[in-house]
């Protein structure tokens, strides 16, 4: 196998767009999709805003027998996978089933399905619990259902590292390609906007209590006071370069060129957080000098401490205002394991168009030495992109994406 791993297909389902083109049309102009929670009654909760996917009906995309077996997150993942394979131009027989695999990430699994079946257990008894509960709640269910639907009989797995998981899944897929797989479907998804999932998120203590959609999620802003959850994610088709050429892949969005991951030290140890080292490892893996990076897609936690740590890491590597930084997730909220794969899709589309999407609603605090792209998109030559993601528990991940001529 060749050294290069190429992205040949993308599928995305996000609060501000279903499908890559709809998503990009909204993102490039800064369309906000954060609003009051509608999927359950959140009026009694201290946090009441989310980035929800509206207008998605699984029955319009999936076989009727599959819908009652699956949680909303799996339905979203399956549809995004269909779009990614269509984008890659894959036809039956192009790649042998045992040469194709799948690795996804999830931080919560099928939360709403599990909630509904637990309600049945408590209120009606065990006989009324669906047999599908045995797998529909599980973190690995998306990988399993994608592999079954698309006859991917090669390597399979799931990564669980919160918001960093989506990048970790891409890296694991690249490892499998380097071991001999010809094609891997990979990405991440979360959709836990239900009362059970909401209670779990509130317990983390990171959600904003603001009721103003346009001023609720404000990374790197003086008024940053927490996060807004969202739902969705993205699936990418990765291929070995030689294999992609052999089957006549019609589209190459870019190269997954580098990856680095670290864990933060124990709180109170006095040691530096691990994000800077993850960036350094990713750049080294890609044989990339910091000066070659055209834009950084930030994790953008939206809390004072985490924003400070990320800004310090970016500044340490690139220098004060040394590289454009953006966080288009301010339009959608934080999508859990789906956030970073959506950022990867944004990065690849930014490479395609030569346009850096904006960080909406944010007024950059003078406390940060960042060249943050705000208010409107910025035209630029985008050839190399760094995407960052951090997960609760100290996970740090970074990937480098590169244009392919």
CA atoms within 13 A of residue 87's CA, in its CB half-sphere: 24
pLDDT value, residue 49 = 98
Q: Which one, of 381, 168, 233, 178, lies nearest residue 295 by Cα?
A: 381
**Is pLDDT of 1 > 80?**
no
Which pLDDT belongs to residue 396? 98
What are the start-end ranges of the H helices in 72-224? 72-88, 111-124, 133-136, 141-150, 165-179, 195-203
What is residue 287's predicted lDDT score, i.e. its pLDDT? 97
Task: Name the burial class of residue 123, with classes exposed (0-12), middle (13-18) and buried (19+) by CB atoms within 10 angstroms of its CB.
Answer: exposed
**pLDDT for the residue 52:** 98
User: Is residue 404's pLDDT more than 70?
Assistant: yes
Indicate the range of 101-105, 109-113, 237-241 predicted with least confidence: 109-113
What's the whole-number mean pLDDT along residues 242-270?
Answer: 93
Q: Of all helices (H) and strands (E), which one includes residue 388?
A: strand 384-391
> Average pLDDT, stretch 392-405?
96
Dist CA 353 CA 144 (whole Å)? 34
Segment 52-61 mean pLDDT: 95
Q: What is the pLDDT of residues 285-333, one digit of tens each?
A: 999 999 999 999 999 999 999 999 999 999 999 999 999 999 999 999 9
Reported as a single tens digit per residue, the pLDDT across 374-384 is 999 999 999 99
The closest of 218, 163, 8, 157 to 94, measured between CA atoms, is 8
Region of 180 (left: φ > 0; alpha: ψ -120 to 50; beta: rest) is left
Whole-structure pTM value: 0.96
User: Is pLDDT at 116 greater than 90 in this prediction?
Assistant: no
DSSP one-letter string for 250-305:
S---EEEEEEEEEEPPPTTS-PPPSHHHHHHHHHHHTT--GGG--EEE-----SHH
Number of H helices, E strands in the chain: 11, 16
How crowded is residue 41: how many other Cβ atoms within 10 Å of its Cβ? 10
Mean pLDDT along residues 351-373: 97
pLDDT reading at 131 higher than 90: no
* Residue 136, pLDDT score: 81
> Coil, strand, or helix at residue 373?
coil
Own/partner pairs for 248-251, CB < 8 Å, 24+ apart?
A: 249/6, 249/8, 249/88, 249/89, 250/88, 250/89, 251/8, 251/9, 251/87, 251/88, 251/89
CA distance 277 to 281: 6
For residue 93, the model assigns a pLDDT of 82
CA separation for the pair 112, 317 (Å, rounded):
41
Res. 145: pLDDT tops 60:
yes
Average pLDDT taken over every residue of the chain:
95
Q: What is the pLDDT of residue 97?
A: 95
Strand partners, 375: none
Which pLDDT score is estimated for 2?
Answer: 55
238-246: average pLDDT = 94
Give the pLDDT band of residue 137 (cuts 50, 70, 90). Answer: confident
The answer to whether residue 405 scores a pLDDT higher than 90 is: no
- Token pair, residue 401, equals 């994406």
3-state DSSP call for residue 323? coil
User: CA-CA distances (angstroms) from residue 373 to 135, 299, 377?
Assistant: 42, 14, 7
| Residue 78 to residue 64: CA distance in whole angstroms | 13
Express each pLDDT in 68-109 by its tens digit. 999 999 999 999 999 999 999 998 788 999 999 999 999 998
Share of the chain above pLDDT 70, in %: 100
Has residue 231 got a pLDDT over 90? yes
Average pLDDT over residues 264-272: 89
């Amino acid at each position: 196998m060749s050294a290069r791993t190429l992205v040949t297909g993308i599928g995305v389902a996000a609060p501000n767009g279903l499908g890559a083109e709809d998503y990009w049309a909204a993102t490039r102009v800064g369309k906000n999709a954060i609003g009051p929670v509608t999927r359950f009654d959140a009026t009694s909760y201290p946090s009441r805003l989310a980035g929800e996917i509206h207008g998605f009906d699984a029955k319009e995309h999936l076989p009727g027998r599959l819908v009652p077996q699956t949680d909303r997150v799996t339905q979203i993942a399956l549809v995004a996978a269909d779009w990614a394979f269509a984008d890659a131009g894959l036809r039956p027989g192009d790649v042998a089933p045992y040469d194709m695999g799948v690795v996804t990430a999830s931080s919560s699994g099928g939360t709403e399905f599990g909630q509904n079946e637990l309600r049945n257990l408590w209120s009606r008894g065990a006989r009324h619990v669906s047999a599908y509960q045995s797998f529909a709640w599980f973190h690995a269910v998306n990988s399993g259902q994608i592999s079954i639907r698309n006859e991917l009989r090669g390597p399979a797995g799931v990564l669980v590292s919160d918001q960093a998981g989506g990048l970790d899944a891409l890296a694991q897929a690249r490892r499998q390609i380097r071991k001999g797989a010809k094609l891997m479907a990979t990405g991440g998804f979360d959709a836990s906007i239900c009362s059970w999932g909401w209670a779990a998120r509130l317990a983390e203590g990171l959600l904003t209590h603001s009721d103003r959609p346009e001023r609720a999620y404000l990374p790197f802003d003086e008024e940053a006071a927490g996060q807004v959850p969202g739902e969705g994610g993205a699936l990418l088709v990765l291929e070995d370069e030689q294999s992609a050429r052999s089957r006549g892949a019609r589209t190459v969005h870019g190269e997954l060129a580098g990856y680095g991951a670290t864990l933060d030290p124990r709180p109170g140890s006095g040691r530096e957080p691990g994000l800077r080292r993850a960036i350094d490892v990713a750049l080294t893996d890609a044989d990339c000098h910091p000066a070659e990076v055209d834009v950084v897609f930030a994790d953008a936690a939206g809390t004072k401490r985490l924003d400070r740590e990320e800004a310090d890491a970016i500044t340490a590597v690139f220098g004060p205002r040394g590289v454009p930084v953006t966080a288009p997730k301010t339009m959608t909220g934080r999508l859990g394991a789906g956030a970073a794969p959506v950022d990867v899709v944004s990065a690849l589309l930014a490479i395609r168009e030569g346009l850096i999407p904006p960080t909406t609603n944010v007024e950059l605090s003078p406390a940060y030495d960042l060249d943050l792209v705000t208010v409107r998109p910025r035209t630029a030559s985008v050839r190399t992109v760094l995407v960052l993601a951090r997960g609760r528990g100290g996970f740090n991940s970074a990937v480098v994406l590169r244009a392919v001529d």
